[in-house]
């Protein structure tokens, strides 16, 4: 079997050319095949097999179009000139390429990773959204164009698309993957993550990209102990629609039958305030991120993005500081609740329901909100399908820094959650 990078590059180009005309997961790139074959031949020369090959040798990776990668322009899904947004290659791309990966191309993002959607369609039903803002990355993996893709999450920009597209989405602890060379949305929340068809494909890339990766972590998953799972009852969980909630409860019951301990308790009790504080921080920081570009190119911004920036401009420093203090207190309460009740992982619906019809919206991010607000690691796992045959997912949430445990435990959870059952 030919395992060369050049062969992998040719195959991925074939897949993109065959599928992306309908799905629009990738930013159009004239000369993609020539570029990829050139880079692949260089990789084959560098790692000829005599001294071993790196962890991601020949793996084609889609990279969200807010991440700078040498040889590819960054447009962030916007009409702002590429030269205004240009910057040095992101460290995460350095790591991917050093591990032998091939950058298959830039994947479509909502404008500046906010809410104004790009043209990407859901591979399962083309009339439905793939989610966002990491729409192209999730759809590219779901359609089989690439086995791995980089996305980012500010609130729900990875977990929700993963659920809508029926793939695995991993948002690590905030800051665990370096974000230099990535155009910011709200730096307090922005987190680089990964999409893959399954946990086994994703795990080696997480080890390459995450700072200080420890194989399987310490204790817990490393010793074979199953996690204790918590379901956070109350106003947060009530945001899921009836279809998602029914499917989720069926999956939770299935986990219990399989031998997992599942505990149900109220959390958080101040969800509306958490949501309000998240908006203050997110909009304030978004406005500062665009403090140079927006005055110069405001007419090129889409209205959803422009209004979010204007909202942030109206938020004062005192309100922002107060919201940051509230966020730190919430994170402490989250960890304390897990300690008190012996919870290893929270489990929740990964989205409020299946992917909505239409491409005018990327869907509702609320099921990811408290966990992104706290900066803790989260994972979306495929969990069956809704009545309309659209995918559903379960979100698993760990303590800050417990990324290794989360992925190790996910291998056990994955097959139980994905098992077939009648549509809800």
pLDDT tens-digit map of 318-342: 999 999 999 999 999 999 999 999 9
pLDDT of 423 > 60? The answer is no
Residue 215: its pLDDT value, please?
A: 83
Q: Which one of the listed residues 91, 135, 157, 372 is annotated catalytic? A: 157
pTM exceeding 0.85: yes
Residue 221: its pLDDT value, please?
A: 55
DSSP, collapsed to helix, strand or coil, labels residue 418 as: helix
Q: Are residues 187 and 285 in contact, defined by beta-carbon separation less than 8 angstroms?
A: yes
Q: What is the pLDDT of residues 313-323, one digit of tens each?
A: 999 999 999 99
Average of pLDDT values for 75-102? 98
Q: What is the pLDDT of residues 159-179, one digit of tens each?
A: 999 999 999 999 999 999 999
Nearest C-alpha neighbor of 27 from the set 123, 128, 140, 195? 140
Q: Is 133 a catalytic residue?
A: yes
Helix axes 91-98, 199-209, angle to 10 degrees: 120
Q: Is 389 a catalytic residue?
A: no
Q: What are the structure tokens assigned to 58, written together?
A: 């020949």
Nearest C-alpha neighbor of 331 from the set 278, 286, 405, 379? 278
Nearest C-alpha neighbor of 115 from the set 85, 155, 143? 155
Whether the bond between 368 and the residue before it is cis, its omega within 30 degrees of 0, is no
- What counts of helices (H) and strands (E) characterise the chain? 14, 10
Residue 222: its pLDDT value, please?
A: 53
Q: What is the pLDDT of residues 193-230, one digit of tens each?
A: 999 999 999 999 999 999 999 986 554 455 578 999 99
- Residue 49: pLDDT band with limits 50, 70, 90: confident
What single string gives the DSSP state of each residue in 339-394? HHHT-SEEEEESSSSSPPBBSS-----GGGHHHHHHT--EEEEEEEE-TTS-EEEE
State the Cα–Cα distance between residues 85 and 66, nearest whole angstrom. 9
State the Cα–Cα distance between residues 150 and 172, nearest whole angstrom. 12
Average of pLDDT values for 371-376? 98
Q: Tell me the percentage of the chain whose pLDDT exceeds 70.
A: 97
Lowest mean pLDDT among 12-26, 223-237, 301-315, 409-423: 409-423
Per-residue burial over 230-240, b = 16 or more CB atoms within 10 Å of its CB, e = otherwise: bbbeeebbebb
Q: Is 64 a catalytic residue?
A: yes
Average of pLDDT values for 112-137? 98
What value does the mean pLDDT of the chain take?
95
pLDDT of 126 > 90? The answer is yes
Q: Which one of the listed residues 91, 133, 135, 247 is annotated catalytic? A: 133
């Amino acid at each position: 079997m030919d395992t060369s990078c050049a062969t992998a590059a040719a195959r991925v180009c074939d897949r993109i050319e065959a599928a992306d005309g309908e799905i629009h997961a990738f930013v159009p790139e004239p000369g993609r095949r020539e570029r990829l074959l050139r880079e692949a031949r260089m990789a084959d020369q560098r790692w000829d097999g005599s001294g071993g090959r790196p962890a991601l040798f020949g793996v084609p990776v889609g990279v969200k179009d807010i991440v700078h990668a040498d040889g590819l322009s960054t447009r962030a899904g916007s009409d702002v000139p590429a030269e205004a947004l240009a910057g040095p290659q992101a460290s995460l791309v350095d790591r991917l390429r050093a591990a032998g990966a091939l950058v298959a191309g830039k994947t479509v993002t909502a404008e500046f990773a906010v809410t104004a959607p790009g043209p990407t369609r859901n591979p399962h039903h083309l009339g439905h959204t793939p989610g966002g803002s990491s729409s192209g990355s999730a759809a590219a993996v779901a359609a089989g164009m690439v086995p791995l893709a980089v996305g980012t999450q500010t609130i729900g920009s990875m977990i929700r698309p993963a659920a809508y597209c029926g793939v695995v989405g991993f948002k690590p602890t905030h800051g665990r993957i370096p974000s230099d060379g990535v155009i910011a949305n709200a730096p307090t929340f922005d987190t680089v993550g990964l999409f893959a068809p399954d946990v086994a494909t994703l795990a080696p890339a997480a080890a390459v990209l995450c700072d200080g990766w420890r194989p399987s972590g310490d204790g817990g998953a490393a010793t074979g102990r199953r996690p204790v799972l918590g379901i956070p009852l109350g106003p947060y969980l009530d945001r899921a629609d009836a279809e998602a909630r029914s499917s989720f409860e069926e999956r939770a019951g299935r986990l219990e039958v399989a031998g997992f301990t599942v505990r149900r308790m109220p959390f958080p009790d101040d969800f509306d305030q958490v949501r309000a504080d998240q908006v203050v921080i997110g909009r304030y920081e978004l406005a500062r991120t665009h403090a140079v570009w927006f005055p110069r190119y405001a007419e090129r911004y889409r209205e959803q993005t422009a209004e979010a920036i204007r909202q942030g401009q109206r938020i004062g420093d005192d309100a922002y500081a107060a919201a940051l203090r509230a966020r730190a207190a919430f994170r402490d309460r989250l960890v304390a609740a897990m300690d008190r009740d012996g919870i290893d992982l929270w489990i929740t619906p990964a989205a409020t329901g299946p992917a909505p019809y239409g491409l005018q919206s990327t869907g509702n991010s609320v099921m990811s909100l408290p966990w992104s607000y706290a900066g803790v690691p989260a994972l979306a796992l495929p969990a069956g399908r809704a009545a309309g045959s659209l995918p559903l997912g379960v979100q698993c949430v760990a303590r800050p820094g417990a990324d290794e445990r989360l992925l190790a435990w996910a291998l056990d959870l994955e097959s139980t959650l994905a098992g077939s059952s009648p549509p809800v």
